[in-house]
Amino acid sequence: MGSGSVGTVAIAGAGLAGRLLAWRLLRAGVAVTLIDARGRDDRDHAAGVAAAMLAPYAELVVSDAHLFALGEASLALWPRWLAELRGQTGMEVDFHHAGSLVVAHAPDHPGLAHYADLIRYRLPVGKRGEVRDLDASALAALEPELAGRFARGLWLPQEGQVDNAQLLPALEQAIVQGMARVGGQWLQHTVVEAVEAHAVHTAAGASLSADVVVDCRGVRAQWPGVRGVRGEVLTVTCPQVRISRPVRLIHPRYMLYIVPRREGRYIIGATELESQDEGPITVRSMLELASALYSVHPAFGEGRIVRAAASLRPATDDHQPVWAQQHGVWHLNGLYRHGFLVAPALVQQAENTLLPLLGQVAAPALEGAP
């Protein structure tokens, strides 16, 4: 235990959930040992592959009021947390809360109408006005690059995105700093074989003890029924196309989204396959994503594919996230396809559970948090 720390937490898994929780606990003065099978710079976990859209409305096609509330609470937390992260590390993480668009080609307008109906149906009544129908001119006013390409669309003004390629290294730096100050260590390239109350056992035969153990290993965690849902994405650089906010394309066979990042980069996603295969992207998926992209704007044809990546989204049977204790071990899991959307609110719940157990004062609850 480091100087001034009040307890120790061992966290198995340093993806999205593990990193965020480690950072928050270290800030609160808790020594954290973070153990991951990957190196710190490895970006092939779900956290590093994701598009990191913050889309509580669009996600309602696969979610519900509880996830929506977690998403809204997290959207309020992200700017506060990113300001704290910047204050601690000096590292900027792009966060946009400027809405997203949903479009469809003319034959798919019935699909777009159904999509809008489903979202409105699942929204709290008072929020239904936040799903706005667009005609061609309103769409062109929001995204001039799409002028003349789509006759109808939807505007979801409350959605956003965070740049995970910036977030993950910023969290890494803050965690390493926190460990130097409070205590703990980051064990890289260390496979966790089993977790139990107060102990983590590695595949190499070592055992670590801690006051509290949290399993954040996603699809590899010891949580019953957790499964992987494969997702594949492309990163394309295409400075010729200037889209400023996430755009989704409704299509009868697959869903495409285009998420703009700095310097003409776009994250193009994503397949959603019931498969535990973590292997590289298939030719079929590459073709589907690239041709759907080309159908949104032919100038993408000149874009460069600079990364093709695949990972597994950790999902529970009912697609609800998990913050629970089982056999003495805490589990933060089931973040599925909306981990960035819900993680801050869940991690805050985790802090509020664990800090009192460790003799610390819990962070004040965010107003409106579920």
Residues that bind ligand FAD (CB under 6 A): 12-18, 35-38, 45-47, 49-53, 191-192, 216-218, 220, 231, 233, 269-270, 311, 313-314, 333, 335-341
SS3 category, 137: helix
Q: To the nearest whole angstrom, how small is the minimum distance from the Cβ of residue 28 to ligand FAD?
A: 20
Instruction: State the nearest-atom distance from the C-beta of 192 to ligand FAD, in Å.
Output: 4
Inter-residue contact 30 to 8 (CB < 8 Å): yes
Name the amino acid, one letter, at 23: W
Sequence-separated (6 or more) residues with CB below 8 Å from residue 246: 51, 53, 55, 100, 101, 159, 161, 257, 258, 259, 260
Cβ proximity to ligand FAD: between 29 and 37 the closer is 37
- Closer CB to ligand FAD, 152 or 292, in the complex: 292
> Of 29 and 266, which has the nearer Cβ to ligand FAD?
266
**In terms of CB distance, is 131 or 234 closer to ligand FAD?**
234
- In whole angstroms, what is the distance from residue 78 CA to residue 70 CA? 12
Residue 31 tokens, joined: 């020594």
What span, in angstroms and rounded, lies between the C-alpha atoms of 64 and 318? 11
CB of 229 to ligand FAD, least distance (A): 8
Residue closer to ligand FAD by CB (options 151, 194) is 194
For ligand FAD, the closer CB: 70 or 152: 70
149: which DSSP letter? Answer: T
Find the residue with minimal CB distance to ligand FAD: 15
Instruction: Tell me whether residue 47 or residue 293 sits nearer to ligand FAD (CB atom).
Output: 47
Task: Quickly list H helices, 90-224.
Answer: 109-122, 136-142, 164-182
Minimal distance, residue 86 CB to ligand FAD, in Å: 21
- Smallest distance from the beta carbon of 270 to ligand FAD, in angstroms? 4
Comparing CB distances to ligand FAD, the nearer of 85 and 309 is 309
Instruction: Give the separation between CA 46 and CA 8, rounded to whole angstroms.
Output: 26
Which tokens sit at 141?
């006013």
Calpha distance 36→15 (Å, rounded): 8
* Phi, psi angles (nearest 5°) of residue 79: -60, -35
Taking the complex as a whole, the smallest distance from the CB of residue 165 to ligand FAD amounts, in Å, to 13
Half-sphere exposure of 304 (CA within 13 A, CB side): 6
Give the helix ranges, DSSP H, for the chain. 16-27, 46-49, 65-89, 109-122, 136-142, 164-182, 283-296, 339-357
Q: How far is the CB of 76 from ligand FAD (least distance, A)?
A: 15
Minimal distance in Å, beta carbon 340 to ligand FAD?
3
CA distances from 279 to 45, 264, 308 (A): 12, 27, 11
